[in-house]
Structure 1
Amino acid sequence: MKLHAKEIFSVPNILSYIRLLLIPVFVYLFLNATENKDYYFVGLIILLSGITDLLDGMIARKFNQITELGKVVDPIADKLTQAAVVICLMFRYPFMWIIVILFVIKELFMGINGLILLKRGKKLDGAKWFGKLSTAVFYVAMGILITFPMLNAGFVSLLMIITGIFLSLSFIMYIPEYIKLYRGKIA
């Protein structure tokens, strides 16, 4: 696949690059945060990342700037950002490892099946509504946990349970989509 400057430097792809660049900034600032204002700033970085994620998809669809490069870079930026968030939060919340395991299982399932199907000339065409909803819930819940380190344990547990439920439901709902692809039906 030959890439053209117009594709490489499309606005949606630039927004995805920004998300990728925000990951090490987020990790560094989060791990070195000591005061509430530091966490508020880190929360703003995650909010900015989420907004760029929302905008890149909207702009790509509205202005017909969907590119093959964007179909690769956008999900990579999403998954790396989400992984950085949950791994960083593991340092603060002892039970975050449960969310990490759910996240890894879901992403490995989707990644491995996506590669197998790609070799067969098939692919899932974009995120489904339940995947988008799960991602939105993830960003809201994890954004709250990042920004407000002084939350009580009960509320923290509730946010992690809600995130876990939506990750699990998304994973379960993607299974039939992949089965359809394996059987040759359009997903």
Structure 2
Amino acid sequence: MSEASPVDQHDSAEAAPSAAIWTVPNLISMARIVLIVVFGWLLIAGHDAWAIGALAAAGISDFLDGYLARRWNQVTELGRVLDPAADRLLTIVVVLGLAIRGVIPWWLVAILLARDVMVGVALLIARSRGVSSAQVTFVGKAATFGLYVTLPLAFLAYERWDGVWVAAIVGACVAAALYWISGIGYARDLARRAHPASDGASVAGAPERLG
């Protein structure tokens, strides 16, 4: 994620993102998207050890690109696109792959994907009104981190340690609740900025930060 992490975003909120493309954080973000696709193929093909390795590498890059973007002052407009795109792609690939393998229930897949559909529709409507996407929030990143931890744990524990598997599924449900909370906040922020402020000025130009 070339955009900074929640703490990093707060520190760099005053600096406008650049239009640069070929920055190191952006390259890491692009590599992360490739790793997610590779993980999905390995998971479906049954190469579990390699799949976990690809997922772990993607998770490390999730922290690394945000850290470097802040550290080197390389927060970019492209990074703001790659960040949520990579997170959404990861969610889709992981939950679908694990559900196909029977590791997680399909109702959990429905809950997670419904949230992404809701946010996607809100984003399309907002962009049609000239509102750009907002920054990722702490709650949203916490939810994503929770899914990073609980879903692979469920994968590792499946048909091995029943108690751990149940705990992982419960943890994934908690992360899913946070995921929806962040999604609703995201949609509400987009709706707020899509309408003119009371003084006649466009809220679309307000700082892109979710409350």
Question: How far apart are residue 124 of structure 1 and its match?
Answer: 4.7
**Change beyond 3 A, Cα 1:109–1:89:** same
Secondary structure of 2:184 counterpart: helix
Could you say which residue in structure 2 is the equivalent of 1:13? 26
Could you say which residue in structure 2 is the equivalent of 1:32? 45
Could you say which residue in structure 1 is the equivalent of 2:181? 172
- Following the alignment from structure 2 to structure 1, what is the Cα–Cα distance between the partners of residues 49 and 170? 23
Question: How far apart are residue 120 of structure 1 and its match?
Answer: 2.1
Code of the residue aligned with 1:167 in structure 2: it is A
Higher mean displacement: 147-156 or 11-20 = 147-156
- Following the alignment from structure 2 to structure 1, what is the Cα–Cα distance between the partners of residues 81 and 58? 17
- Following the alignment from structure 1 to structure 2, what is the Cα–Cα distance between the partners of residues 7 and 83? 28
TM-score if structure 1 supplies the norm length?
0.82
Could you say which residue in structure 2 is the equivalent of 1:73? 82
Aligned length in residues: 178
**Change beyond 3 A, Cα 1:156–1:121:** same
| Paired-residue identity, % | 30
**1:90 and 1:97 in contact (8 A); partners too:** yes
Unaligned runs of 5+ in 2: 1-18, 194-202
State the Cα RMSD in Å: 2.3
Unaligned runs of 5+ in 1: 1-5
Higher mean displacement: 91-100 or 158-167 = 91-100
- Following the alignment from structure 1 to structure 2, what is the Cα–Cα distance between the partners of residues 127 and 151? 36
Question: How far apart are residue 179 of structure 1 and its match?
Answer: 2.6
Could you say which residue in structure 2 is the equivalent of 1:141? 150
- Following the alignment from structure 2 to structure 1, what is the Cα–Cα distance between the partners of residues 120 and 26? 21
Secondary structure of 2:135 counterpart: coil
**1:19 and 1:81 in contact (8 A); partners too:** no
- Following the alignment from structure 2 to structure 1, what is the Cα–Cα distance between the partners of residues 44 and 156? 13
Within a 5 Å distance, the mapping from 1:13-162 to structure 2 comes to 13-33=26-46, 38-93=47-102, 95-162=104-171
Instruction: Point out the structure with the larger helix share.
Output: 1
Tell me which stretches of 4 or more aligned residues in structure 1 moved more than 6 Å: none
Question: How far apart are residue 77 of structure 1 and its match?
Answer: 1.9
TM-score if structure 2 supplies the norm length?
0.74
Question: How far apart are residue 164 of structure 1 and its match?
Answer: 1.8
